[in-house]
Protein backbone atom coordinates (compact mmCIF):
# COMPACT_ATOMS: atom_id res chain seq x y z
CA UNK A 1 0.00 0.00 0.00
CA UNK A 2 1.11 3.51 -0.80
CA UNK A 3 2.18 5.61 2.19
CA UNK A 4 0.77 9.15 1.99
CA UNK A 5 1.87 10.46 5.37
CA UNK A 6 5.03 9.41 7.13
CA UNK A 7 5.80 10.87 10.53
CA UNK A 8 9.20 9.91 11.88
CA UNK A 9 10.45 10.53 15.40
CA UNK A 10 8.67 13.84 15.65
CA UNK A 11 8.97 15.89 18.83
CA UNK A 12 7.61 19.34 19.48
CA UNK A 13 8.05 21.83 22.27
CA UNK A 14 6.14 25.13 22.50
CA UNK A 15 8.19 28.22 23.29
CA UNK A 16 8.43 28.83 27.05
CA UNK A 17 7.07 25.40 27.91
CA UNK A 18 9.14 22.97 29.95
CA UNK A 19 7.59 19.80 28.64
CA UNK A 20 7.27 18.46 25.14
CA UNK A 21 3.81 18.59 23.55
CA UNK A 22 4.87 15.69 21.32
CA UNK A 23 7.62 13.22 21.96
CA UNK A 24 9.11 10.75 19.48
CA UNK A 25 5.92 10.29 17.54
CA UNK A 26 6.15 7.97 14.52
CA UNK A 27 3.39 6.58 12.36
CA UNK A 28 2.34 6.11 8.75
CA UNK A 29 -0.94 6.65 6.98
CA UNK A 30 -1.78 4.72 3.82
CA UNK A 31 -3.61 5.98 0.78
CA UNK A 32 -7.39 5.84 1.14
CA UNK A 33 -7.20 4.96 4.81
CA UNK A 34 -9.37 6.50 7.55
CA UNK A 35 -7.22 7.05 10.60
CA UNK A 36 -8.67 8.45 13.79
CA UNK A 37 -6.50 10.10 16.41
CA UNK A 38 -7.97 10.21 19.92
CA UNK A 39 -6.69 11.43 23.26
CA UNK A 40 -7.69 13.68 26.14
CA UNK A 41 -7.38 17.48 25.96
CA UNK A 42 -3.71 18.36 26.04
CA UNK A 43 -2.56 14.94 24.79
CA UNK A 44 -0.95 16.53 21.73
CA UNK A 45 -3.60 15.70 19.10
CA UNK A 46 -4.15 19.22 17.84
CA UNK A 47 -0.45 20.02 17.93
CA UNK A 48 0.03 17.02 15.68
CA UNK A 49 -2.57 18.37 13.23
CA UNK A 50 -0.77 21.71 13.12
CA UNK A 51 2.51 19.97 12.38
CA UNK A 52 0.94 17.91 9.61
CA UNK A 53 -0.15 21.02 7.71
CA UNK A 54 3.06 22.88 8.43
CA UNK A 55 1.54 25.52 10.74
CA UNK A 56 4.22 24.55 13.24
CA UNK A 57 7.63 23.06 12.44
CA UNK A 58 8.71 19.98 14.42
CA UNK A 59 11.43 20.62 17.00
CA UNK A 60 13.00 17.40 15.75
CA UNK A 61 12.03 14.59 13.41
CA UNK A 62 10.59 14.60 9.88
CA UNK A 63 7.20 14.58 8.20
CA UNK A 64 6.53 13.44 4.64
CA UNK A 65 3.17 14.10 3.00
CA UNK A 66 2.36 12.75 -0.48
CA UNK A 67 6.00 11.95 -0.97
CA UNK A 68 7.21 15.47 -0.19
CA UNK A 69 9.40 16.21 2.80
CA UNK A 70 7.57 18.95 4.70
CA UNK A 71 9.64 22.07 5.38
CA UNK A 72 9.47 25.84 4.96
CA UNK A 73 10.12 25.60 1.23
CA UNK A 74 7.67 22.84 0.44
CA UNK A 75 4.85 23.83 2.78
CA UNK A 76 2.72 25.49 0.09
CA UNK A 77 3.23 22.58 -2.22
CA UNK A 78 2.11 20.18 0.50
CA UNK A 79 -0.90 22.30 1.46
CA UNK A 80 -2.22 22.05 -2.10
CA UNK A 81 -2.76 18.41 -1.39
CA UNK A 82 -4.27 18.83 2.06
CA UNK A 83 -7.59 20.04 3.33
CA UNK A 84 -8.18 20.81 6.97
CA UNK A 85 -11.33 21.63 8.90
CA UNK A 86 -10.96 23.00 12.39
CA UNK A 87 -13.30 22.76 15.34
CA UNK A 88 -14.53 26.34 15.39
CA UNK A 89 -15.83 27.51 12.01
CA UNK A 90 -15.87 31.18 13.06
CA UNK A 91 -12.11 31.25 12.74
CA UNK A 92 -12.07 30.11 9.15
CA UNK A 93 -14.42 32.39 7.23
CA UNK A 94 -13.20 34.96 4.73
CA UNK A 95 -16.01 35.37 2.19
CA UNK A 96 -19.02 37.70 2.49
CA UNK A 97 -21.36 35.01 1.19
CA UNK A 98 -21.29 31.27 1.55
CA UNK A 99 -20.36 30.72 -2.10
CA UNK A 100 -17.64 33.39 -1.97
CA UNK A 101 -16.21 31.60 0.97
CA UNK A 102 -16.05 28.29 -0.83
CA UNK A 103 -14.62 30.13 -3.85
CA UNK A 104 -11.76 31.66 -1.86
CA UNK A 105 -9.55 28.58 -1.78
CA UNK A 106 -10.32 27.76 -5.41
CA UNK A 107 -9.43 31.28 -6.58
CA UNK A 108 -6.19 31.04 -4.65
CA UNK A 109 -5.32 28.00 -6.66
CA UNK A 110 -6.28 29.53 -9.96
CA UNK A 111 -9.11 27.12 -10.75
CA UNK A 112 -10.87 28.27 -13.99
CA UNK A 113 -14.23 30.03 -13.49
CA UNK A 114 -16.43 27.36 -15.09
CA UNK A 115 -14.81 24.60 -13.13
CA UNK A 116 -15.00 26.72 -9.98
CA UNK A 117 -18.75 27.28 -10.30
CA UNK A 118 -19.29 23.60 -10.78
CA UNK A 119 -17.18 22.64 -7.78
CA UNK A 120 -18.83 25.20 -5.49
CA UNK A 121 -22.28 23.99 -6.40
CA UNK A 122 -21.22 20.41 -6.02
CA UNK A 123 -19.51 20.91 -2.65
CA UNK A 124 -22.44 22.86 -1.18
CA UNK A 125 -24.85 20.22 -2.36
CA UNK A 126 -22.81 17.48 -0.77
CA UNK A 127 -23.03 19.14 2.65
CA UNK A 128 -26.70 20.08 2.19
CA UNK A 129 -26.11 23.85 2.06
CA UNK A 130 -27.01 24.55 -1.58
CA UNK A 131 -29.93 26.74 -0.51
CA UNK A 132 -27.64 29.01 1.47
CA UNK A 133 -25.18 29.91 -1.32
CA UNK A 134 -25.96 33.63 -1.08
CA UNK A 135 -26.32 33.83 2.71
CA UNK A 136 -23.79 35.62 4.87
CA UNK A 137 -21.68 33.07 6.76
CA UNK A 138 -21.92 34.90 10.09
CA UNK A 139 -25.72 34.65 9.99
CA UNK A 140 -25.64 30.87 9.91
CA UNK A 141 -25.90 28.62 12.93
CA UNK A 142 -22.77 26.95 14.28
CA UNK A 143 -23.49 23.64 12.60
CA UNK A 144 -24.35 25.25 9.27
CA UNK A 145 -21.09 27.20 9.37
CA UNK A 146 -19.21 23.98 9.93
CA UNK A 147 -20.82 22.42 6.88
CA UNK A 148 -19.68 25.38 4.80
CA UNK A 149 -16.16 25.01 6.17
CA UNK A 150 -16.24 21.36 5.13
CA UNK A 151 -17.58 22.33 1.69
CA UNK A 152 -14.67 24.77 1.30
CA UNK A 153 -12.23 22.00 2.09
CA UNK A 154 -13.75 19.36 -0.17
CA UNK A 155 -14.16 21.79 -3.11
CA UNK A 156 -10.37 21.74 -3.31
CA UNK A 157 -10.46 17.97 -3.84
CA UNK A 158 -7.56 17.34 -1.49
CA UNK A 159 -5.65 14.05 -1.41
CA UNK A 160 -5.78 14.11 2.36
CA UNK A 161 -8.41 15.71 4.56
CA UNK A 162 -7.68 16.42 8.20
CA UNK A 163 -10.65 16.90 10.51
CA UNK A 164 -9.64 18.53 13.78
CA UNK A 165 -12.74 17.86 15.88
CA UNK A 166 -14.61 19.15 12.89
CA UNK A 167 -17.94 17.57 13.79
CA UNK A 168 -17.97 18.40 17.48
CA UNK A 169 -20.29 21.37 16.94
CA UNK A 170 -22.80 19.43 14.83
CA UNK A 171 -25.92 17.73 16.08
CA UNK A 172 -26.00 13.95 15.78
CA UNK A 173 -27.76 13.79 12.43
CA UNK A 174 -25.52 16.56 11.08
CA UNK A 175 -22.53 14.59 12.28
CA UNK A 176 -23.68 11.45 10.52
CA UNK A 177 -24.40 13.33 7.29
CA UNK A 178 -21.03 15.03 7.22
CA UNK A 179 -19.20 11.80 7.96
CA UNK A 180 -21.12 10.11 5.16
CA UNK A 181 -20.14 12.90 2.77
CA UNK A 182 -16.51 12.48 3.68
CA UNK A 183 -16.79 8.71 3.48
CA UNK A 184 -18.22 8.86 -0.05
CA UNK A 185 -15.60 11.40 -1.19
CA UNK A 186 -12.99 9.09 0.17
CA UNK A 187 -14.27 6.27 -2.01
CA UNK A 188 -14.80 8.44 -5.11
CA UNK A 189 -11.44 10.18 -5.03
CA UNK A 190 -9.37 7.72 -3.03
CA UNK A 191 -9.01 10.45 -0.42
CA UNK A 192 -7.21 9.77 2.83
CA UNK A 193 -8.89 10.89 6.06
CA UNK A 194 -7.15 11.79 9.29
CA UNK A 195 -9.73 12.59 11.91
CA UNK A 196 -9.03 13.95 15.37
CA UNK A 197 -12.03 13.38 17.58
CA UNK A 198 -13.62 12.47 20.92
CA UNK A 199 -16.61 10.94 19.22
CA UNK A 200 -16.76 7.21 19.81
CA UNK A 201 -18.97 6.55 16.82
CA UNK A 202 -16.34 8.15 14.67
CA UNK A 203 -13.65 6.04 16.31
CA UNK A 204 -15.60 2.86 15.66
CA UNK A 205 -15.80 3.68 11.92
CA UNK A 206 -12.06 4.15 11.46
CA UNK A 207 -9.76 1.66 9.76
CA UNK A 208 -7.14 2.39 12.36
CA UNK A 209 -7.02 4.30 15.62
CA UNK A 210 -4.06 6.07 17.21
CA UNK A 211 -4.44 6.89 20.90
CA UNK A 212 -2.33 9.80 22.14
CA UNK A 213 -1.42 10.28 25.77
CA UNK A 214 0.92 12.94 27.16
CA UNK A 215 2.46 13.65 23.78
CA UNK A 216 3.18 10.04 22.91
CA UNK A 217 1.38 7.30 21.02
CA UNK A 218 -0.10 5.10 23.71
CA UNK A 219 -1.97 2.58 21.56
CA UNK A 220 -2.44 1.91 17.88
CA UNK A 221 -4.64 -0.56 16.05
CA UNK A 222 -8.15 -1.39 14.85
CA UNK A 223 -11.09 -0.04 16.89
CA UNK A 224 -11.68 -3.56 18.32
CA UNK A 225 -8.07 -3.80 19.40
CA UNK A 226 -8.16 -0.35 21.02
CA UNK A 227 -11.39 -0.88 22.92
CA UNK A 228 -10.06 -4.16 24.27
CA UNK A 229 -7.84 -1.96 26.46
CA UNK A 230 -10.87 -0.58 28.28
CA UNK A 231 -9.32 0.16 31.66
CA UNK A 232 -6.28 1.81 30.11
CA UNK A 233 -8.45 4.12 28.01
CA UNK A 234 -10.49 5.14 31.05
CA UNK A 235 -7.29 5.93 32.95
CA UNK A 236 -6.40 8.31 30.13
CA UNK A 237 -9.71 10.10 30.57
CA UNK A 238 -11.38 8.61 27.51
CA UNK A 239 -14.81 7.11 27.17
CA UNK A 240 -15.74 3.57 26.29
CA UNK A 241 -18.59 2.66 23.96
CA UNK A 242 -21.88 2.27 25.80
CA UNK A 243 -22.24 -1.47 25.07
CA UNK A 244 -18.78 -2.16 26.42
CA UNK A 245 -19.43 -0.20 29.61
CA UNK A 246 -22.75 -1.90 30.11
CA UNK A 247 -21.25 -5.39 29.49
CA UNK A 248 -18.72 -4.76 32.24
CA UNK A 249 -21.24 -3.28 34.67
CA UNK A 250 -23.62 -6.20 34.15
CA UNK A 251 -20.89 -8.68 35.05
CA UNK A 252 -20.24 -6.77 38.26
CA UNK A 253 -23.96 -6.94 38.98
CA UNK A 254 -24.26 -10.73 38.69
CA UNK A 255 -25.60 -10.94 35.18
CA UNK A 256 -23.05 -13.40 33.74
CA UNK A 257 -22.17 -11.93 30.33
CA UNK A 258 -19.16 -13.69 28.80
CA UNK A 259 -17.86 -11.05 26.35
CA UNK A 260 -17.33 -7.30 26.30
CA UNK A 261 -19.57 -6.23 23.43
CA UNK A 262 -18.77 -3.36 21.09
CA UNK A 263 -22.25 -3.28 19.60
CA UNK A 264 -25.72 -3.10 21.13
CA UNK A 265 -26.98 -5.93 18.91
CA UNK A 266 -24.29 -8.24 20.24
CA UNK A 267 -25.10 -7.48 23.85
CA UNK A 268 -28.88 -7.75 23.42
CA UNK A 269 -28.45 -11.06 21.67
CA UNK A 270 -26.25 -12.53 24.41
CA UNK A 271 -28.66 -11.33 27.08
CA UNK A 272 -31.50 -13.02 25.20
CA UNK A 273 -29.60 -16.32 24.95
CA UNK A 274 -28.84 -16.16 28.67
CA UNK A 275 -32.42 -15.30 29.53
CA UNK A 276 -33.83 -18.11 27.40
CA UNK A 277 -31.45 -20.64 28.93
CA UNK A 278 -32.41 -19.52 32.44
CA UNK A 279 -36.13 -19.66 31.79
CA UNK A 280 -35.72 -23.17 30.30
CA UNK A 281 -33.99 -24.37 33.44
CA UNK A 282 -36.55 -22.62 35.61
CA UNK A 283 -39.52 -24.22 33.83
CA UNK A 284 -37.97 -27.71 33.92
Partner 1 sequence: MDIVFRDVEHRYQINTPFEKRALYDIHMDIRNGSYVAVVGHTGSGKSTLLQHLNGLLQPTKGTVHLGKYTITAGKKEKHLKSLRKKVGIVFQFPEHQLFEETVEKDICFGPMNFGMSEQEAKARVGEWLALVGLPEEVRHKSPFALSGGQMRRVAIAGVLAMNPEVLVLDEPTAGLDPRGRKEMMDMFAQLQRRKGMTIVLVTHSMEEAARYADDIIVMHQGTIVRRGAPEHIFRHVDDLIGLGLDVPETVLFQRAIEQKFGVQFHAPCLTIEDVIKNLQTLFTRVKRI
Q: Quick one: which segment of 27-35, 48-56, 61-69, 162-170 binds partner 1 (CB under 8 A)? A: 162-170
Q: Which of 3, 27, 42, 61 binds partner 1 (CB under 8 A)?
A: 42
Q: Which of 9, 139, 225, 259 binds partner 1 (CB under 8 A)?
A: 139
13 CB neighbour count, 10 Å cutoff: 17
Q: Would you say the C-alpha torsion 231, 261, 44, 10 has a positive or negative sign?
A: positive
Please check whether residue 267 is in contact with residue 274, taking contact to mean a CB–CB distance below 8 angstroms.
no
Distance CA 122, CA 128 (A): 10
Q: Is 255 in the site for partner 1 (CB under 8 A)?
A: yes
- Residue 139 CB-density burial (10 A; 0-12 exposed, 13-18 middle, 19+ buried): exposed
Distance CA 202, CA 184 (A): 15
Please check whether residue 53 is in contact with residue 41, taking contact to mean a CB–CB distance below 8 angstroms.
no
Query: Looking at residue 27, what DSSP letter applies?
Result: E
Nearest distance, CB of residue 95 and partner 1, angstroms: 16
Contact characters 51-90, partner 1, x per CB under 8 A: ------------------------------------xx-x
Q: Which of 140, 149, 194, 244 binds partner 1 (CB under 8 A)?
A: 140
Helices 172-189 and 142-155, axial angle in degrees (round to 10): 0
Q: Is 130 in the site for partner 1 (CB under 8 A)?
A: no
110-133 b/e (C-beta count within 10 Å ≥ 16 → b): ebeeeebeebbeebbebbebbebb
Q: Which residues contact 70 (CB under 8 A, 6 or more apart)?
A: 52, 54, 62, 63, 64, 78
Size of the site for partner 1 (CB under 8 A): 49
Q: Is 32 in the site for partner 1 (CB under 8 A)?
A: no
Nearest distance, CB of residue 167 and partner 1, angstroms: 10
Q: Which of 35, 102, 169, 181 binds partner 1 (CB under 8 A)?
A: 169
Q: Which C-beta is closer to partner 1: that of 188 or that of 254?
A: 254
Nearest distance, CB of residue 265 and partner 1, angstroms: 7
Q: Is 41 in the site for partner 1 (CB under 8 A)?
A: yes
Q: Which of 6, 80, 121, 198 binds partner 1 (CB under 8 A)?
A: 198
Please check whether residue 93 is in contact with residue 145, taking contact to mean a CB–CB distance below 8 angstroms.
yes
Q: Is 273 in the site for partner 1 (CB under 8 A)?
A: no
Q: Is 204 in the site for partner 1 (CB under 8 A)?
A: no
Residues that bind partner 1 (CB under 8 A): 16, 39-42, 87-88, 90, 136, 139-144, 165, 168-174, 198, 237-239, 242-243, 245-246, 249-250, 253-255, 264-265, 267-269, 271-272, 274-275, 278-279, 282-283
Amino acid sequence: MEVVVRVENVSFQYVNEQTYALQNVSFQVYKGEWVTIVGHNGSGKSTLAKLLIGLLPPTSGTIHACGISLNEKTVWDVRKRLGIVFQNPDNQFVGTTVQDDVAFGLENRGVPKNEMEKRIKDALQKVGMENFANDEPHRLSGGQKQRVAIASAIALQPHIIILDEATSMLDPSGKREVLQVIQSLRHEHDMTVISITHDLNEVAKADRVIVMNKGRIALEGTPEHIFAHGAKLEEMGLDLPFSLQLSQRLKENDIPITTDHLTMEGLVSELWTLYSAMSNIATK
